Structure 1
Amino acid sequence: MRKKSLSRTVLAASVATVTALVVTGCAGSDGGSGGGGKKLNVYAWAGEIPESVVKAFEKETGIEVTLDTFDSNETMTAKLSSGSAGYDLVEPSQYTVQQLIGQKLIQPLDHSRIKGLDNLAEKFRDPSYDPGNKYSVPWIWGTTGLAYNDTCIDSADSWQTLFDAEHKGKVYMLDNMLAAYIAGLQITGSRATSTDEGEIAAATEALAKQKDLLAGYNSTNYPQLLASGQACAAQAWSGTAMAKVVAANENVHYVIPKEGGSIWTDGLSIPEGAKNTDAAYEFINFTLRPEIAAMATDDGGSASTNAKAREHIKDKKALDNPAVYASDESIAEADFLLDPGTAMKHFQQGWTKVKAS
């Protein structure tokens, strides 16, 4: 949750935590479902829809795409809530899809107009946050896990590494509420998706006790701190920054902790009131093509949700980099971080307590 605050920064998946990109443009004149629209307004996480994808789409279709960026799901939601955003596609994270459905800010997808959903990997079909992919088509995905430098920690496969007094002052947690609670909940034996008040309270106590051991909360340069040896271990989001460090430094490793970690995904949805829906469906179909989906990895550094894209990916090393593509085995127990709903107040109250401890 990357990354994101409830942003994947809260997650990202982060529900946190870490960059975003958009395609905006003036509304076309084709109406809600009319034909021939030549403009497309897309609002997406920065860097997640590579320029190469946009340029290829424009060249093939003649549709003009304008790119905007947002840095959190909250920013995107606020824009849609204003009623004057003018976007035809948005790229919410999984738990934000749930929130947007509840607020009636995105519309059900017409699957008769979509081609290629069967190209998606099985875990992204009929996901828990959007049964039947009714409102969202997953585009890229990642994980919340654990990174460490083996020059000061021989190996690590558990969140316990970040709660061990032996590493005091050399470990970091993501500065993101729901991301931190992934570790807090799982280290105390609960699921990352728990909304139980007692389980959240137990996680809060664990995080409060942990705080004295931390070098700090950090959602920005922790990969570089790990690379330099200034940090021994850190809660981490997979994705470009972490993947580059893992690829370049043989001492830095990224793992999904045995307690489960979490999975996040960002996908394409059509807002209520979108004007250029024909163009929006064209773009969704374009991104579902395996050779186009492969660009998310080759040009964007992200893992594609498209299973058939793997054979088209040129950067084969990315397929073996766990900070890009976590193995199926490692994410077997990982949850999609979901919208906690009314339980959010328990997380917020607990997080205030942790930060004040």
Structure 2
Amino acid sequence: MKKLQSLIIGILAIILVLLFSVHQLEKSTGMAGAKVLNIYNWGDYIDPALIKKFEKESGYKVNYDTFDSNEAMFTKIQQGGTAYDIAVPSEYMIEKMMVEKLLLPIDHQKISGLSAIDPRFLDLSFDPGNQYSIPYFWGTLGIVYNDKFVNADQITSWDDLWRPELKDKLMVIDGAREVIGLGLNSLGYSLNSKKDDELQEAFEKLKKMTPNIKAIVADEIKMYMANEESAVAVTFSGEAADMMWENEHLHYVIPSEGSNLWFDNIVIPKTAQNVQGAYDFINFMLVPENAAQNAEYIGYSTPNKEAKALLPKEISEDPQFYPSDELLSHLEVYENLGSDYLEYYNDIFLEWKMYRK
């Protein structure tokens, strides 16, 4: 009898171990059930309070992972190691993911609140008809300067970054498209140029900027500029808003030659395990009150016109972050360059970084 009891206890112990192992495996792969939503987004790109609110209202448990570049996000989704239900790539990467068939088409009948989106940010060239993506944030690339060290009339264009008085006082974002793009724009060329002579000319001009470069950094720019460790920086509009909130001497300028107009949209990767949860999250973020809360927290421009109406006027009427249609017409959206030219841009950028040393 004791042997039988021991056998039963042993079998029960094995079953418990197996159940625990299955649970841990499901947890590690993000497939612990339909009530789990796996989100892949840029770092510090949603108000944490909204995630808690969504979890409370929907009953979902949100697993939130972050990436620091479109390329890193693309590679991870392409490899399929984690089944993300939501991702937030930029426009040119959305186009690439569509080509690579990494996205599920959006069923617009399951979307509520799309009418709140400003028509200017719908049906754009990278995703006609918004077949695969829903607008999340938009913004620009520009220049931040500190008026304690630089006068306003000294920073109006990309060319001003080459001024000799900025020696060792300039920080730039660590991104190939951004740096090569500003070099191209400063010469009057498209930031999507596929002309080798234009790219080489931009590279040669950028080399002449290197004496002014203090650092090539990413998110750290916010801290450095807020702490007045540099006079001027090239960064995105939302990052600029954060800096300006912390330091009243900082100002943001969209260069007169033109610049990048970017869009980050929500997509559903083809490996998604909780598609209904993805739609629930998209609809939650389209609610004007939620979109407004997110925009005020993050500092980037919302494409949600009803949310914009809820923002304080000092935000919604600030032309630095909600520029006029005339200025918008001078800005360019990054296009998918194709693998060959994307590699070429990266090679030029890396060579420029090495030249600086």
Q: What is the TM-score when the length of structure 1 is the normalising length?
A: 0.83
1:41 aligned to 17, 35, 38, which one? 38
2:288 aligned to 287, 290, 295, which one? 290
CA gap 1:329/1:233 in 2 versus in 1, 3 angstroms: farther
1:269-288 map, 5 Å: 269-288=267-286
Q: How far off is 1:188 after superposition?
A: 0.8
1:81 aligns with 2:85: no
Which residue matches 1:11? none
CA gap 1:194/1:316 in 2 versus in 1, 3 angstroms: same
Q: CA RMSD for the aligned pairs? A: 2.4
Q: How far off is 1:327 after superposition?
A: 4.8
CA gap 1:222/1:65 in 2 versus in 1, 3 angstroms: closer
Which residue matches 1:193? 192
From the two aligned structures, give the one with the greater helix fraction: 2
The gaps in structure 2 that reach 5 residues or longer are 1-27
1:231-242 map, 5 Å: 231-239=230-238, 241-242=239-240
1:72-221 map, 5 Å: 72-155=69-152, 156-221=155-220
Q: What is the TM-score when the length of structure 2 is the normalising length?
A: 0.83
The 2-side partners of 1:248 and 1:351 are apart by 31
Q: How far off is 1:284 after superposition?
A: 1.1
CA gap 1:222/1:26 in 2 versus in 1, 3 angstroms: closer
Q: Secondary structure at the match of 2:112?
A: coil
Q: Deviations over 1:296-330 (max 9, x none)?
A: 123333322211101223x4433355665455444
Which residue matches 1:34? none
Q: Deviations over 1:271-311 (max 9, x none)?
A: 11322111211211221121121121233333222111012
Task: State the percentage of identical aligned residues.
Answer: 34
The 2-side partners of 1:340 and 1:108 are apart by 23
Alignment length (residue pairs): 325
Q: How far off is 1:229 after superposition?
A: 4.5
The 2-side partners of 1:55 and 1:223 are apart by 26
Which residue matches 1:309? 307
The 2-side partners of 1:224 and 1:60 are apart by 35
Question: Is this contact kept in 2: 1:44–1:69, CA < 8 A?
Answer: yes
CA gap 1:294/1:67 in 2 versus in 1, 3 angstroms: same
1:27 aligns with 2:31: yes
The 1-side partners of 2:115 and 2:192 are apart by 27
The 2-side partners of 1:326 and 1:231 are apart by 26
The 2-side partners of 1:344 and 1:76 are apart by 16
The gaps in structure 1 that reach 5 residues or longer are 1-23, 30-36
The 2-side partners of 1:285 and 1:28 are apart by 23
1:249 aligns with 2:226: no
Q: Which moved more, 1:326-335 or 1:272-281?
A: 326-335
Question: Is this contact kept in 2: 1:226–1:232, CA < 8 A?
Answer: yes
